[in-house]
Structure 1
Amino acid sequence: MLIATPPLLVLPFPAIDPVLIQLGPFAVRWYALAYVAGLLIGWWLAKKLCATPALWGGKSAIPPEEFDDAVVWVAFGVILGGRLGYVLFYNLPYYASHPMEALTVWHGGMSFHGGFLGSILAMALFCRRRGLPLMSMLDIAAAVVPIGLFLGRLANFINSELWGRVTDVPWAFVFPTGGPEPRHPSQLYEAALEGVAIFVILQIAIHGFKALARPGIVGGLFVMLYGLSRIIVEFVREPDPQLGYLAGGWLTMGMLLSVPMVLFGAWLAWHSSRRPPLNERVPA
């Protein structure tokens, strides 16, 4: 019988306190700071994109000042949707028995897919109220979301949560909450794919190919690329303990929720690319 031995090279987990500042009962955590910083940087970049007519092939479809209010709507959509998505998709039996625990967001538990749907609903309501084109608003949001994803995944790493499966790769970490076995730093994989790679691809599409001029391309690319990135990382990410593997010892809830994103995103980007540019369309 062979006994697995740990790799000779295991990276030491950085001793970073998840709490940045503690003032009595008040604590500022890196995770919360990641949300705030992602929203603020995204708001700044969104306004800059909307204030650059050349990227739209003419007049911008979204006045830059509209994002001063839109960012508040999106923030509520992300937080409420993210929490509700986690309750429904990942731990419904527990919260059905402990309904008040669903309100304790400070204990952790957020779902990207839920936050994604919540932000779309928030933007749809905002655009309807302000008379703005929803698809262009979604494109701008998609262009800046990778910033928040990158910061959020780094915060997951600092919190020693959402770590990967046991491995013998030389860049493995022994996480404080993950037992004695070395594991994939799947949070860093996601930060690289969902954050850096998707951000670069979308910026190339926007600045190099004027994708904002055809509403739906940027949003479709983001949805497709995020789904693909999440599916890839799920092969090395430890599934949530209350769910485990859904079928065959390899399928996870993250994969299951990401497949429709890949299909819909690919269709939306393709469909939008076949339409004439925004500022060349003849009013009906």
Structure 2
Amino acid sequence: MLNDLYHMLDPVAFTLGPLSVRWYGLAYVVGFFFAALVISRTAKRWGVRVTSDDLSTILICVVVGVIFGARLGYVLFYGDGYYLTHPFEILAFSQGGMSFHGGLIGALLSGIVAAKICGIPYTTLADLGCIAAPIGLFCGRCANFINGELWGAPTDLPWAVVFGGAAGSVPRHPSQLYEALLEGVLLFIILFALSRKTPPRSRGTFLGVFMLLYGVFRFLVEFVRLPDEQLGYLLGTNWLTMGQVLSLPLIIAGICMLIWVSRTHLPQQGHPEAKDEAEDVQGSPEA
């Protein structure tokens, strides 16, 4: 069933004259739209004031950070020296090649700028963003599946997919869908459930949980996802991939963040003009 479904899918969602709109591009749009919605609703539930101007600033900063960070991350982590001899292709987004780990670094750095402009504590802003991020990850991994890229190793499992093209006619793990379910659906459910507590959990909690669980999920999926062809497996092994190497520091950072949270217990805060209001809400009994 999955084989038939895949072969009916076109990476191009629709065309308008000479313009072709691809599912991958739509995944970014949908992901950022729902991220804004989740951030707004969660902040309101926490009693943390994030104005419409704040939200616009946050989105602009994060969009720029994610896109450029993801591209530069791919160039640095997966380029294997190619872009040293082809520097004009570094920003050739149309050729594909985006790294989640680079996008995360870009989002965290651009979040510093957004937090400074909005006057919102960085860790509160990061927590809100991390609750919303799995939605974008889900959309992106589904787009990877539609594009027939980042496929898995050969398998005889009943849900194996024949991707064709460079992947050949061998049935393979639909590793994109594994990631969509783990990094997208499951991670969102966990973070959203944690966010329901009132008063909200201490600043940095969601950033720590996100980094820890994403790192674990990605590390595990890499065992059935084939590495990028230009890199292959690392250090002479037949299992260690760049994705796993990049996920290890993410796991460590998540653990360190949660340890810091357990020692600081800083309350979530929003726009400084609503500090007193937020403190009143956060001091209310747990729902």
Q: How far 1:21 sits from its partner (Å)?
A: 1.1
* Unmatched segments (≥5 aa) in structure 1: 1-8
Counterparts of 2:18 and 2:80, CA distance in 1 = 30
Determine if contact 2:12/2:20 at 8 Å carries over to the other structure.
Answer: yes
> Where in structure 2 are the equivalents of 1:84-103 lying within 5 Å?
84-103=72-91
Q: Pick from 101, 104, 113: which aligns with 1:116?
A: 104
Secondary structure, in 3 states, of the residue corresponding to 1:51? helix
> Where in structure 2 are the equivalents of 1:39-50 lying within 5 Å?
39-50=32-43
1:91 alignment partner AA: G
Secondary structure, in 3 states, of the residue corresponding to 1:68? helix
Q: Pick from 6, 11, 19: which aligns with 2:12?
A: 19
Aligned partner of 1:36 in structure 2 is: 29
Counterparts of 2:205 and 2:215, CA distance in 1 = 15
Aligned partner of 1:181 in structure 2 is: 170
Counterparts of 1:10 and 1:192, CA distance in 2 = 16
* 1:94-128 deviation per Cα after TM superposition (whole angstroms, max 9, x unaligned): 11111111121011100000000001111101212
* 1:155-180 deviation per Cα after TM superposition (whole angstroms, max 9, x unaligned): 00000000001111111000023111
Counterparts of 1:40 and 1:124, CA distance in 2 = 21
Determine if contact 2:31/2:139 at 8 Å carries over to the other structure.
Answer: yes
> Where in structure 2 are the equivalents of 1:198-213 lying within 5 Å?
198-208=187-197, 210=199, 212-213=200-201
**Matched residue count:** 267
In the alignment, structure 1 residue 276 sits paired with structure 2 residue 276: no
1:99 alignment partner AA: P
Q: Decide whether aligned partners of structure 1 residues 254 and 228 sit closer, same or farther in structure 2, where only a CA change above 3 A counts.
A: same
* Unmatched segments (≥5 aa) in structure 2: 268-278, 283-287
2:241 alignment partner AA: T
1:179 alignment partner AA: G
TM-score under structure 1 normalisation? Answer: 0.89
Q: How far 1:271 sits from its partner (Å)?
A: 2.3
Counterparts of 1:169 and 1:268, CA distance in 2 = 38
Determine if contact 1:146/1:196 at 8 Å carries over to the other structure.
Answer: yes
Determine if contact 1:220/1:268 at 8 Å carries over to the other structure.
Answer: yes
Secondary structure, in 3 states, of the residue corresponding to 2:8? coil
Q: Decide whether aligned partners of structure 1 residues 64 and 219 sit closer, same or farther in structure 2, where only a CA change above 3 A counts.
A: farther
Identity level (%): 44
Q: How far 1:11 sits from its partner (Å)?
A: 3.8
* 1:7-60 deviation per Cα after TM superposition (whole angstroms, max 9, x unaligned): xx98433411110111232111000000010001110111111122xx3xxx41
Secondary structure, in 3 states, of the residue corresponding to 1:20? strand
> Where in structure 2 are the equivalents of 1:117-136 lying within 5 Å?
117-136=105-124
Secondary structure, in 3 states, of the residue corresponding to 1:27? strand
In the alignment, structure 1 residue 154 sits paired with structure 2 residue 142: yes
> Where in structure 2 are the equivalents of 1:233-244 lying within 5 Å?
233-244=221-232
Determine if contact 2:80/2:230 at 8 Å carries over to the other structure.
Answer: no
Q: How far 1:239 sits from its partner (Å)?
A: 0.2
Counterparts of 1:145 and 1:10, CA distance in 2 = 27
1:255 alignment partner AA: Q
Q: How far 1:277 sits from its partner (Å)?
A: 5.1
Aligned partner of 2:255 in structure 1 is: 266
Aligned partner of 1:223 in structure 2 is: 211
Secondary structure, in 3 states, of the residue corresponding to 1:103? coil
> Where in structure 2 are the equivalents of 1:130-145 lying within 5 Å?
130-145=118-133
Counterparts of 1:213 and 1:61, CA distance in 2 = 16
